Structure 1
Amino acid sequence: MKGTCLCGAVRYETKGRPLYSGFCHCRDCQRATGTGHCCYMIFSRADVDVTGELRAYEKLAENGNVTIRYFCPTCGSQIFSSGHDRWTVYAGTLDDMSLFEPTNAVFTRSRPHWDRSAIQLDECETLPG
């Protein structure tokens, strides 16, 4: 899978399939995207090659872990976030968005009533255990 930011200054390519993919309804993702959820795919860091400059914003997540969100300093597109050894890739940045196949919805306890998926997914009120 390949993707880019809005202006094209940052590009990435992934190897293999995502470890997880779906919709995140946590309040941080809602605020970062300006909508009811983000569409995410999680990869091992070793499986994502990135070119271009990234800026980072670090925040303590609801679960107590530090989350770092990466964005293009030119256009502001949020492209990744990260945990320990993984990249979360935001599906809206894919060159071919038809490759995104969500399998779950997480933090559904924060999902607004107006943000319901038309497809059936496994749902978790927080992160899967």
Structure 2
Amino acid sequence: MDTTSPTAHPAYEGRCLCGQVSYVATGEPVFQFNCHCDDCRKSTGCAYAPIMFFARAAVKVSGNLTYHAMRGGSGHTIARGFCGGCGAQIVGDADMVGSLLSIRAGTLDDPGLYQPKADVFVSQAAAWDAMDPRLPKYDRWPPRRA
């Protein structure tokens, strides 16, 4: 018997470069965006960090992460989880959204599952950062919904 629902959400699975750390996130992301803040740019070594936030309980990480905590571009503390073997950044644990945990979309086994909805902190973007013109742009965070 096929118990797969046609409306079932995919599992978002991924891993680090060496495979010592993996994760499964279930359900739909709460939000997903490209963050162009100075902190994300420097922590990734790229133009931006592609980030997906899930309910904390929906993310199961296997393997050992090493955390580095510091004040992020938002002004709040974020603890980034890295693989101790290869150094790949896997998760972000931001104080300002304590009920959520973020994964770095570049670590997805199927990167096509990442569907960014906005570019945030574009006021801090590098001049050479080529953003998708179809996405809404916000100098900092998008306005809060009612």
Q: TM-score range by the shorter chain?
A: over 0.9
What secondary structure sits across from 1:123 in the alignment?
coil
1:1-129 superposed matches below 5 A: 1-83=12-94, 84-129=98-143
Which structure is richer in relative contact order (CA contacts within 8 A, separation 6 or more)?
1
Give the deviation of 1:62 after TM superposition.
Answer: 3.4
RMSD over equivalenced CA pairs, Å: 1.1
After the TM superposition, which segments of 4 or more aligned residues of structure 1 sit over 4 Å from their partners?
Answer: none
- Identity among equivalent positions (%) equals 36
Q: Which residue of 1 aligns with 2:9?
A: none
Q: 1:100 to 1:119 in 2, by over 3 A?
A: farther
Give the deviation of 1:119 after TM superposition.
Answer: 4.6
Query: 1:52, 1:69 → 2: CA distance?
Result: 15
For the pair shown, which has the larger CA radius of gyration, 1 or 2? 2
Letter in 1 for 2:19: G
Give the deviation of 1:42 after TM superposition.
Answer: 0.7
Query: 1:112, 1:52 → 2: CA distance?
Result: 34
Q: 1:72 to 1:35 in 2, by over 3 A?
A: same
Alpha-carbon deviations, 1:63-117, whole Å to 9, x = none? 3311100000011000010121211110000000011101001000011222122
